[in-house]
Amino acid sequence: MSNNRYKLHPVSTIINFVKGLKDLIIPFLIIFVANGFNVSFNPKEEGFWAELIPLVIMSIFTLAYLFNGVLKWWTFVYWFEEDELRVEYGFLIKKKRYIPFHRIQSFNYKEGIFHRIFGLVQVMVETAGSTDGKPEVILTAITKEAAKQIEQVTRNVKQNNMDSLTDVEGNVAILEDENSIIQPQRTILKMNMKDLIILASTSNSIGVVLAGVAAVLSQFSEFIPYEWIFEEVSSFIKFGFVFVTLIIFAGLLVAWLISVMITFINYYNYTVIEEDERITITRGLLEKKKITIPLNRIQAIKIVENPLKQLFGYSSVVVESASAGYGEKDKKMTLFPLISKKKVYQPLQELLPAFEWEQSLTRPPKKAKPFFYRLDFFWIVPLIGLCSYFWFPFGLLSILIIIPVIFLGLWQYKTTGFAIKGNQLTIVYRIISKVTFVVEKKRIQAIQSKQSYFQRRKNISSVQAIVMSGMTGATAKASNLNEHDAEQVLRWFEKSNA
Amino acid sequence: MYHIPKKGLTVWRLYGLFNTLFVLILACIASFLTYKFEWSVMIYFIAAVIVLICAITLIWLFPKIRWDHWRYEVREHEIEIQSGLFVVTTTLIPMVRVQHVDTAQGPILKKYDLANISISTAATTHVIPMLITNDADQLRSRISVLARVAEDDV
């Protein structure tokens, strides 16, 4: 193996620098706002020099970041040696990191705007150990060929190790056969324009965008001449009503357009490919991202339907994976952001043939119905009490909140259920969105049944399964089942009954 | 299923006593301030009632319920733990999933010759509290042996 030492592409200095600037934006803004924006450029004015101090500090920081970016690029080298990917950087404090190839779980790629101009790519190396949400090694910018080379070297080394292993065990022929069959690459899902628009309209983020637009509009309300409008309008009340409706409608439209735009930028050309026991997701318009999940790292699958999606017969699929963070904050990995409920099982079946997706569920008994909303009264009753006391008599209207809470409880009751089939456990539950949680027995870390005093009197009990996901694990809970059904899940989990 | 040793109940009551003392100190401060600044007399009563409730629940009631609910059993293939105050939780951990076992002992536990065992899986940590130190050490080594033997054949 060659011991060439490779450097990053010089553009990585700029990328490092820009990334650093992003962190600085907020302190800068605070300084500016605190200053009241009155930065003067006239040296003769009083207090000019005092006002200059923040500017000077800012430029020092900026320069430091730039210098740091250059230095990091200058010292950063990576090379391959002794079946390891070795990385070294740092000027005063040298940091070295050696990663054995067989420990590498996956490579994830990201292409920002700078990367795309120069045909570069950012590589994030993921190992099993990197559960703190950060990739083990980040190569900020290298050419696409270099990225391919790293992947190729890794694959070769892994292959060689396998071969040498088989030599020892003496069944070379079989494994060589397996190696020689190059698994075809299968496209599992590709999203088109229509999907993207529906996704934009039904995702939870539209609420956030709505709030944002409302906030911006309220900022502009200073400029709307209300008095004039009211004077004019007092004689045309009907016109006023139309006007307000129009404004609300325009706000909704703008929010929707922004949401579509954001979704379009993030999810443009969303493709899921299965190849060589791993799933690869590519997406993005301006910033291209490529994420790889090895199939054997998947702990559980969640089919999530928020009420809006459920209404239109759509769902999304989320993967709980053992390695946290793909260079992103969320440990959960969205596999299919939007897929019609009717079609969802087919690609999942292709990806994970071991699972069965459609099952008849064991439901909670009728007597469990009140348990789904009774506990909520703990916080509702004091809330209503306080509201009624402080805002009498209108506060009494807060009693109405009971209706949606009970309705939601009944909805949760209707949704909840579980199914056991062979080594597979399916739990369906709802907090607000309906979640179908599918997991294999060998991926479950622990199973718990929970029973309060009141539940025991009615022979009702809840069951939850905990799987590994990032740092903390993920939990799926089927609430208020019949006691013997809950018991059944526990006994199923015991090894002696396997 | 095994119970927690009776000594554990005593230690829990002791913890409850400490917590109550802490509340008592707060109540004393409140009463002192009330006296100094001549606030409403009601505050004395409220403080007294709070301390009384804390004493009853933390020293007498809660440790008793908790002790009644705690069970544990270490079998060849799994560990079963039952615990809880208002909600009784039964946890089932397969031996194959156990990653490591710790015992911990603070000064109070040491005085009573007790120790806590905590069992960690990849995603969760479960505690069996208040075991006689010897038992705890034995249990720990037994779990670690069983966990090593257990094979993942699923």
CA distance A434 to A411: 10
Q: What is the pLDDT of residues A28-78, one digit of tens each?
A: 777 666 665 555 556 666 666 666 777 788 788 888 888 888 888 888 999
Q: Which of A424, A463, A466 to mutate to test the interface with B (most CBs of B within 10 A)?
A: A466
CA distance B54 to B60: 9
State residue A4's pLDDT score: 80
- 8 Å CB contact between A432 and A408: yes
State residue A185's pLDDT score: 79
Contacting residues of A for B96, CB less than 8 Å apart: 442, 495
Residue A362: pLDDT band with limits 50, 70, 90: very high
pTM exceeding 0.80: no
CB pair distance less than 8 Å for A446 and B86: no
Q: What residue of A is the nearest CA neighbor of B99?
A: A445
CA distance A241 to A291: 50
Q: Which of B88, B91, B92, B120 to mutate to test the interface with A (most CBs of A within 10 A)?
A: B92
Burial of B87 (0-12, 13-18, 19+ CB in 10 A): middle
Mean pLDDT to the nearest integer, A228-245: 65
Contacting residues of A for B88, CB less than 8 Å apart: 450-452, 456
CB pair distance less than 8 Å for A449 and B124: no
Q: Which of B62, B87, B99, B100 to mutate to test the interface with A (most CBs of A within 10 A)?
A: B87
Backbone phi and psi for residue A164, each to the nearest 5 degrees, phi listed first? -65, -35
Cβ neighbours of residue A107 under 8 Å, at least 6 residues apart?
A123, A124, A125, A126, A147, A150, A151, A154, A292
ipTM of the predicted structure?
0.84
Any idea where the domains of chain A sit in the sequence?
A: 6-105+152-178, 193-267, 271-364+416-497, 368-410
Chain B residues whose C-beta sits inside 8 Å of any chain A C-beta = 77-78, 84, 86-97, 121-124, 126, 152, 154
CB pair distance less than 8 Å for B91 and A447: yes
Mean pLDDT to the nearest integer, A468-472: 73
CB pair distance less than 8 Å for A442 and B77: no
- Tokens 């109940």 — which residue? B9
Q: Token digits for B76?
A: 């060849």
- Residue (of A258, A257, A320) closest to A470 by Cα position: A320
State residue A461's pLDDT score: 94
Sign of the Cα torsion A346, A347, A349, A350 reads positive
CB pair distance less than 8 Å for A469 and B124: no
The alpha carbon of residue B107 and the mean position of all alpha carbons in its chain are separated, in whole angstroms, by 15
Tell me the nearest-neighbour CA distance from A435 into chain B, angstroms. Answer: 20
CA distances from A411 to A306, A369, A407, A431, A432 (A): 13, 10, 6, 9, 9
CB pair distance less than 8 Å for B121 and A445: yes
Q: What is the pLDDT of residues A222-232, one digit of tens each?
A: 666 666 666 66
Q: What residue of B is the nearest CA neighbor of A489?
A: B92
- Give the number of other Cβ atoms within 10 Å of residue B79's Cβ: 25
Residue A164 pLDDT more than 70?
Answer: no
Residue B109 pLDDT more than 60?
Answer: yes
